[in-house]
Amino acid sequence: MPHRKYDKVLVINSGSSSLKFMIFSMLDENMLAKGMVERIGTPDANLIYSRTGDKKTEQLVSAENHGKALAVACKLLIDRERGVLKSLRQVQAIGHRVVHGGEQFKSAVEITEDVKAGIKKCSDLAPLHNPANLDGIIACETVFSGVPNIAVFDTAFHQSMPRHSYMYAVPLKYYEDYGIRKYGFHGTSHKFVAQAAAQYLNKPIEQLNLITCHMGNGGSIAAVRKGRVLDTTMGLTPLPGLIMGTRSGDIDPALIFFLAGKGLDLSTIENDLNKESGLKGINGIGSGDMRDTVHASEQGKAAAVNAIEMFGHRAALYIGGYYTLLGGADAIIFTGGIGENSSPARRSVISRLAAIGCKLDEVKNKACFGCQAVISTEDSKTPAIVIPTNEELMIARETYRLLIDNATAANTETKED
Ligand code: ADP
């Protein structure tokens, strides 16, 4: 709900050597500008920036750490010619993408010292991401003193999963001692498209069963019952589930021991499963990109044709299973770079869904690139809908909601005093 006193929200997605930023006007949910500082900590640090509607610009900058990277980004945001703010004081809250919130964080929270300690504790589960996310948070605390920072977790939406979905059938002590369970990822995207689908179908999310398919370089599917996640394909890590760009998705876990027995070391196997598998491992052209895979398949390369078949087969397996667990679905949603744009990949999935009442309309499918549209036939009992995701806007929304909730609570307290 917009509140005229509050408007500008900054969204930060901080990686180990990059810092992405977007600034939103939340009164109309418009993104005003976005950019990224990449190669932080190297002499080639680079700032890419564009104001909405303007051309992208690039410049070499001096950014030896995340704090310096944020400072150069902020300079641009208030630049007279290229900026979108009169002063940094206009930023009223900052939303941070945080990859892993473990079991501690079930929704977005305002960042305090305790929250930072919690994020640090979850680094065990996301060693590449959480420390980098913390770097972004600390940079913002320094540059924007006194402005509330909000953490929005990739795992939070999936915390609504029931215990029988998230537990693995391994000795209980693994869960108790190490937190080994299914966490799921891409939660912000699944939540965004589930809410957008409810709006599109003109029904409250609490009355809908949805199957949301986020298919980008990484990919996951979620079964969403009445706005809560019933199950999802990623697990303790983002490795299982779908066939992805370079990740294997589901495998027989015993193949690791088999390969170790053949003399491969664990780090080689880990690297191969994460970076050399998926489309890249099987399409015969060594690229993890769906566009390249489709192109090679159209040239008649058998391995690429098979890769697209495998992609569709694996996704349909989960969609069918989730359809059963949900007791039917009101819609199947496709999003992410592949889900939004690749009609051959969508065809491979949807051509396998006739048994659950979802039939592809090939004309609508071919016409849909990054649009919001139904791509199944009119007589399909279970429609397939493409909905572009917007994780940054979702982070901005969660941040804005907390900002207003906290302000309202503070106001009530003052009145009661
Ligand atoms: P990430 O998970 O890194 O955010 P994206 O959501 O951008 O990735 O998805 C990347 C995937 O989307 C790649 O496999 C790419 O081939 C595919 N893709 C992106 N744009 C198109 C397009 N116009 N047509 C077909 N595939 C596309």
Q: What is the pLDDT of residues 317-370, one digit of tens each?
A: 999 999 999 999 999 999 999 999 999 999 999 999 999 999 999 999 999 998
Beta bridge partners of 14: 19
The residue to mutate among 188, 292, 297, 342, having the most atoms of ligand 1 within 8 angstroms of its beta carbon, is 342
The residue to mutate among 290, 365, 366, 392, having the most atoms of ligand 1 within 8 angstroms of its beta carbon, is 290
User: How far, in Å, CA of 369 to CA of 94, rounded?
Assistant: 31
Catalytic status, residue 154: yes
Strands 373-374, 331-335: pairing is: unpaired
Q: How far is CA 255 from CA 252, 268, 286, in A?
A: 6, 13, 22
| CATH, range 4-153+392-416 | 3.30.420.40
Domain with CATH 3.30.420.40 in the chain: 4-153+392-416, 201-386
List the residue whose alpha carbon is closest to atom 4 of ligand 1: 216
Whole-number pLDDT of residue 1: 67
User: How far, in Å, CA of 396 to CA of 233, rounded?
Assistant: 26
Separation of CA 233 and ligand 1 centre (Å): 19
| CATH, range 201-386 | 3.30.420.40
pTM listed for this prediction: 0.95
Q: Is the dihedral of CA 214, 180, 237, 99 positive or negative?
A: positive
List ligand 1's pocket residues with C-beta within 6 A.
Answer: 216-218, 245, 289-291, 336-338, 341-342, 369
Which atom of ligand 1 is closest in space to residue 342's alpha carbon? 25
Whole-number pLDDT of residue 417: 62
Token readout for 215 is 């298919």
Q: Count of CB atoms within 10 A of residue 277's CB? A: 21
Separation of CA 303 and ligand 1 centre (Å): 20
Which atom of ligand 1 is closest in space to residue 288's alpha carbon? 14
Separation of CA 224 and ligand 1 centre (Å): 24
Separation of CA 342 and ligand 1 centre (Å): 8
Separation of CA 380 and ligand 1 centre (Å): 27
User: How far, in Å, CA of 230 to CA of 163, rounded?
Assistant: 10
Whole-number pLDDT of residue 412: 78
List the residue whose alpha carbon is closest to atom 3 of ligand 1: 217
Q: Which residues of the chain have pLDDT under 50?
A: none
Whole-number pLDDT of residue 238: 93
Residues in the chain: 417
Inter-residue contact 308 to 337 (CB < 8 Å): no
Whole-number pLDDT of residue 60: 95
The residue to mutate among 294, 298, 338, having the most atoms of ligand 1 within 8 angstroms of its beta carbon, is 338
Pick the catalytic residue from 154, 231, 330, 361: 154
First-residue to last-residue Cα distance in the chain: 26
